[in-house]
Structure 1
Amino acid sequence: MPRFAANLTMLYNEHDFLDRFAAAAADGFEGVEFLFPYAFPAEEIAARLKAHGLQQVLFNAPPGDWEAGERGLACLPGREAEFRAGLATALAYARALDCPRIHVMAGIAPADLPRAALLEVYQANLAWAAAQAAAQGREVLIEPINPRDMPGYFLNHQAEAHRIVQAIGAPNLKVQFDLYHAQIVEGDLSTRIRQTLPTGRVGHLQLAGVPMRHEPDLGELNYPYLFALIDEVATQCGWQGWIGCEYRPARGTVAGATSAGLGWLRAAGVPARPDLSRAAA
């Protein structure tokens, strides 16, 4: 059975952020991810992880000015010093949270610059980041994101992400394979799972229903089939990653919205653990 991690940026939004860890543990999640931890001291987050028996599996490096629309710095010429400072911050949080993976966002491609110039900057930044992370036993991930949700994002296709990882050749630089984004841009998920998991270049999977980015049992994808396929391929090739649940609950942010939509998780064989959460509280 795949291991599922709750994305605490998108799930349990009826709770304050630091209270979402208990809610995720009570619903049976053993891992968590989120976009950014930097609004909170790392020690506070680490305490919540320990108290509720959770593993931090992924978070993002600083993306630049998120509120102003920036979505990463890695491909942006002239922002290298800021990129490096952000990665240092991310690595410090990764140490405190015992998190093995950091997602480095590429950024919105400037329309007035040739793609080849952006790619050169991107690959140089990734090679540097991978070397820094390797010294601390961490992985750096890159993620293709669909242009409908994030117009202008530099990296959209799985095949290009894999080419970049291969070109750089750092063993700890890997691809974040988000099934939601990949279905919107490319489709043919079964073939892509069979082709890419055995390469060792996929560091993390994520899911959401298509097209509305709600629970995975809502929409056009047959996730029970995909879960069984991931199990099959992972068993064959030894892949041991997580699947991040990065979706917006269809019931919104009302009390219990996330928990009420977890029928798909129960069907996948993950039981709730309310006793563990109460004991930790």
Structure 2
Amino acid sequence: MPRFSANLGFLFTELPEIDRVAAAAAAGFKAVEMHWPYHVPAEEMRRALTSNHVTMLGLNTPVGNAAAGDFGLGALPGRESEFQQAVEQSVSYGHAIGATAVHCMSGLVAPDAASAAESTFVANLKLAADRAAQAGMTVLIEPINHRDKPEYFLHTVEQAASIIDQVGRRNVKIMFDCYHTQIMQGDLTRRLKDFLDVIGHVQIAAVPSRAEPDEGEVDYRTICRTLDDLGYGGWVGAEYKPRGRTEDGLGWLSAWSRDPSSSSTQGAVA
């Protein structure tokens, strides 16, 4: 089985963000991810990560003006300076806490504005990738489904791969969220195989509930074995909304780590 990380934007949310790191470590996770932890001072976050022997994988760029409906800025013409400010905040904070990646959010775009949005996103990502490279970080872009987030610009794996090709930076990768991809496109195992070389991170959640990955229409044990067979060396992020208390729903983690049909003995808590 691959190594699993805990997305602390969804898991252990009954606790303050800084305390979620220790809770994840106590549950056996050796790596975590967060969405927007910027109100926690970087030195406090780094201390929590270090004292709990946990790696921070990634965080998201700020969405922009959430009250006005923003959900990312990367593909929005005319707001390039705001996006670069968001990238600077994310990279500076991420570097200070030892994060390895920043997820650059594209934002919401009407279908008739897609061409201009793509050009804007490509140009913005070139600058973001160069800034991230200075900090030794990867830039991730994530296709998000239109059921949960209508008009999100980046919504298919093929679109993301095309944009990465246009950007031409080796440190730009796809965040392959199985939940979003299953809803928009399906055919997960084929897409994992076809795009493995540009996948920088994988995330999982049940479909359609977005709860623990031990329910729903996707057999994640098969997905994880596929990743093993493909030689995927990254982490798999548990980015789901627990049915109840996070701790009460972690049976999948211990069960999968004991899976005798796994091609690896390095389990979920390795």
- Both structures adopt the same fold (TM-score exceeding 0.5): yes
1:272 CA drift (Å): 7.2
Aligned partner of 1:124 in structure 2 is: 123
Deviations 1:6-41 (A, max 9, x none): 011101112121111111101100000011111111
In structure 1, how many angstroms separate the alpha carbons of the residues matched to 2:38 and 2:56?
A: 14
Are 2:224 and 1:231 equivalent residues in the alignment? Answer: no
Q: Which moved more, 1:167-176 or 1:58-67?
A: 58-67
Tell me if the contact between 1:26 and 1:272 (Cα under 8 Å) persists in the aligned partners. no
- Identify which of 210, 214, 220 aligns with 1:213: 210
The one-letter amino acid paired with 1:158 is: V
Deviations 1:251-279 (A, max 9, x none): 2xxxxx11111111111215779xxxxxx
In structure 1, how many angstroms separate the alpha carbons of the residues matched to 2:18 and 2:67?
A: 21
What is the TM-score of this pair, normalised by structure 1? 0.89
Are 2:264 and 1:261 equivalent residues in the alignment? Answer: no
Aligned partner of 2:8 in structure 1 is: 8
1:96 CA drift (Å): 0.9
* Residue ranges of structure 2 left out of the alignment (5+ in a row): 258-266
In structure 1, how many angstroms separate the alpha carbons of the residues matched to 2:11 and 2:233?
A: 24
In structure 2, how many angstroms separate the alpha carbons of the residues matched to 1:175 and 1:115?
A: 19
Aligned partner of 1:133 in structure 2 is: 132
Aligned partner of 1:279 in structure 2 is: none
Tell me if the contact between 2:142 and 2:160 (Cα under 8 Å) persists in the aligned partners. yes
In structure 2, how many angstroms separate the alpha carbons of the residues matched to 1:127 and 1:141?
A: 12
1:110 CA drift (Å): 4.1
Q: 1:134 to 1:271 in 2, by over 3 A?
A: closer
Tell me if the contact between 2:4 and 2:268 (Cα under 8 Å) persists in the aligned partners. no
Deviations 1:179-201 (A, max 9, x none): 0000000101111111111x2x1
- Deviating 4+ runs (over 4 angstroms): 270-273
Tell me if the contact between 2:256 and 2:268 (Cα under 8 Å) persists in the aligned partners. no
Deviations 1:179-227 (A, max 9, x none): 0000000101111111111x2x111100100001000001111111111
* Residue ranges of structure 1 left out of the alignment (5+ in a row): 252-256, 274-281
Structure 1 residues 18-97: aligned runs within 5 Å: 18-97=18-97
The one-letter amino acid paired with 2:212 is: E
1:123 CA drift (Å): 0.7
Deviations 1:226-256 (A, max 9, x none): 111111112xxxx3211111100012xxxxx
The one-letter amino acid paired with 2:53 is: G
- Identify which of 229, 236, 239 aligns with 1:243: 236
Percent sequence identity over aligned pairs: 43
Deviations 1:38-84 (A, max 9, x none): 11111111111011110000111111023432110001111111111
Give the root-mean-square deviation of aligned CA atoms: 1.5
The one-letter amino acid paired with 1:138 is: M
In structure 2, how many angstroms separate the alpha carbons of the residues matched to 1:173 and 1:69?
A: 26
In structure 2, how many angstroms separate the alpha carbons of the residues matched to 1:67 and 1:135?
A: 32
Tell me if the contact between 1:31 and 1:56 (Cα under 8 Å) persists in the aligned partners. yes
SS at match of 1:209: coil
Aligned partner of 1:276 in structure 2 is: none
Aligned partner of 1:222 in structure 2 is: 219
